[in-house]
Amino acid sequence: MITHHISDAINVLNTNGIVAIPTETVYGLAGNIYSETAIKSIFETKHRPFYNPLIVHISSLQKLNEIAINIPDTAYKLANAFWPGPLTLVLDKHPNIPLLITGGKNTVAVRMPNHPIALDLLNQLDFPLAAPSANLFGQLSPTCAAHVLESFKNNCPLILDGGVCESGVESTIIGFKNGQPIVYRFGAIALENLEAVIGKISTQTHNDTSPNAPGMLTKHYAPRTKLIVCDNINDEILKYPNLKVGLLLFTKTQLFIEIQHQEILSIGGNLTEAASNLYATLHRLDKLGLDVLIAEKLPEIGLGKTMNDRLERGTKG
């Protein structure tokens, strides 16, 4: 069921249920962080492994002390610069935060979303929300209510429709080791923008056995169609002469007659626009019954780095 009424979502969340909610990044599958029933339902509905931590969503910076302790000054500097917004901080967890949310770790991922409906909802609840992406584990993230419905089908929870997500890719995740910031996941805030605020940041974005944050698994964000990422589209197309091929391109189309379908992320070459369109475009291509989907690697700068990360993970398995 899809609703436009926040009151419907509040009723479900207040009774240990889960709701798909809009954020500026992607739709999240949300539940009360203090309800074991709700959190287990999130994992079970998504088929998500319990070792993969969830992100806690809060309504204001003032709520951060209820979620985390020993918060570095650098974390506050980042929060003041980018909240509300698509930045997640991994911090030492408050003793009241259940280990079920953190994947058994003593750290917790937390952010303040920048979506009017999400913030309105959070402000009307007596508890924060855990909200991983509202899709089956490992599949393409949803950027509209229809994507959520398609992912869960007959097992779909209530969806609070907030329109199309503006950023279109997940939040950037920053953790801390000995007080020094580390990127755990590239996301909707480019690394260059973060470094402009706090200086050089190291990266550690892969961990398949004990991830410190969501999005670190090698295989993730994957379409059903076989996905290939390459630098040279023309050469790659020639490898599949007898197959139905679709293309995901950055700025311009290709002239090969054999191509079944082509999608452009940003005619003007704008990386922010391309990121906003990425998942929606992949969802469209994934419905076409193609044999193979070839994606053009984007410039390895700004949000191009984020999109390349998502595409590379989508090729695995």
2-203 and 226-314 in the same fold? no
Secondary structure of the chain in HEC code, one letter for each residue: CEECCHHHHHHHHCCCCCEEECCCCCCEEEEECCCHHHHHHHHHHHCCCCCCCCEEECCCHHHHHHCEECCCHHHHHHHHHHCCCCEEEEEEECCCCCHHHHCCCCEEEEECCCCHHHHHHHHCCCCCEECCECCCCCECCCCCHHHHHHHHHHHCCEEECCCCCCCCCCCEEEEEECCEEEEEECCCCCHHHHHHHHCCCEECCCCCCCCCCCCCCCCCCECCCEEEEECCHHHHHCCCCCCCEEEEECCCCCCCCCCCEEEECCCCCCHHHHHHHHHHHHHHHHCCCCCEEEEECCCCCCHHHHHHHHHHHHCCC
In the chain, which residues have pLDDT < 70?
Answer: 255-258, 317
Taking the model in full, what pTM does it have?
Answer: 0.95
Question: Thinking of the domain 226-314, which architecture would CATH place it in?
Answer: 3-Layer(aba) Sandwich (3.40)
Residue burial 1-32, b: 16+ Cβ < 10 Å; e: rest? eeeeebebbeebbeebbbbbbbbbbbbbbbbb
Fold category of 2-203 in CATH = DHBP synthase (3.90.870)
- At residue 93, the pLDDT reads 97
- At residue 180, the pLDDT reads 92
- At residue 255, the pLDDT reads 67
Query: Do 172 and 24 contact (CB within 8 A), yes or no?
Result: no
Domain residue extents for the chain: 2-203, 226-314
Phi/psi of residue 292, nearest 5 degrees? -150, 145
Residue 48 structure tokens: 């998500």
Separation in Å, CA 24 to CA 166, 197, 239: 5, 22, 38
